[in-house]
A = this chain, B = another copy of it.
């Protein structure tokens, strides 16, 4: 998917919500456990219930990988079920030397048909570039993450500047705003404004709203640009809004609430 198609969806749905499919086999309602593929069955119902309110789905690959080959089958089926106008993110945080990164890119862009994959920056340019060679596919590079451990290295000072900012300044030369996004955690909204100044046109994938406590209005105010420029992810607060058989209805209600809030912020802050 290209940037224009993504922006068109945001305008049409008045939403920049990404629903995180962190689907945990242990948290799926017991009524679904008897299905042949409980993970896929759960995702299918979540997708049916929330697709009106979101513009992206982000399966968290660890949750599928933990089940081995069977988990990869559930992932593949989930991906195929997502309507093609919705942006898909493989949250995989891969990154390795060049020829290995090429194979990870093939895994997510060819064997599966994701629009984007999250990539870790530690190994530098030749670990990221192979992902950027695929047309209409995106790298979402980790910049500033939402976990407490982000402080250990991402906030180290290099010539007075945070490492995460150095990662952004260096990597923005590797790809343009039509193929490269950044992960910027919602728990650090104060940093979002600074990052937005550095990369005015790039999209940010913002995790950490909801269960992790980030503030959606602050994120929107600091991070939005004239094409929205934000995909804000919520996972657990939507998909586990209820642990009972009404989980899909409750997920829809929660996604709708967020979409309504986002509609307000699009009117208020998109410029």
- Chain A residues within 8 Å of B, Cβ to Cβ: 22, 24, 60, 62-63, 65-70, 72-73, 76, 91, 93-98, 100-101, 103-104, 106-107, 111-112, 120-128, 142, 145-154, 156-159, 163, 166-167, 170
B69 touches A22 (CB 8 A): no
Please report the C-alpha to C-alpha distance between residue A194 and residue B148 in the assembled complex, in whole angstroms: 29
B148 touches A153 (CB 8 A): no
Which of B70, B93, B122 is A96 in contact with, Cβ under 8 Å? B93
- A97 CB contacts on chain B under 8 angstroms: 145-147, 149
Q: Number of copies of this chain in the oligomer?
A: 2
A147 touches B98 (CB 8 A): yes
30 contacts between A and B (CB under 8 A): A24-B103, A60-B100, A62-B104, A65-B107, A66-B103, A66-B107, A68-B72, A68-B76, A68-B112, A69-B69, A69-B73, A91-B96, A93-B94, A97-B145, A97-B147, A98-B147, A120-B122, A121-B122, A122-B154, A124-B147, A124-B151, A124-B152, A125-B148, A125-B149, A126-B147, A126-B148, A153-B167, A156-B166, A158-B158, A158-B163
- A166 CB contacts on chain B under 8 angstroms: 153, 156
**Cβ of A76 to closest chain B Cβ, rounded Å:** 6
Closest to A97 in B: B147
- A107 CB contacts on chain B under 8 angstroms: 62, 65-68
**Cβ of A18 to closest chain B Cβ, rounded Å:** 16
A149 touches B163 (CB 8 A): no
**Cβ of A139 to closest chain B Cβ, rounded Å:** 14
**Cβ of A153 to closest chain B Cβ, rounded Å:** 6
B150 touches A124 (CB 8 A): yes
- A69 CB contacts on chain B under 8 angstroms: 69-70, 72-73, 76
Please report the C-alpha to C-alpha distance between residue A104 and residue B72 in the assembled complex, in whole angstroms: 13
**Cβ of A210 to closest chain B Cβ, rounded Å:** 13
Closest to A183 in B: B123
Q: A72-B68, A158-B157 are in contact. Are A123 and B100 (CB under 8 A)?
A: no
Give the most central of A22, A97, A122, A156: most B CB within 10 Å. A122
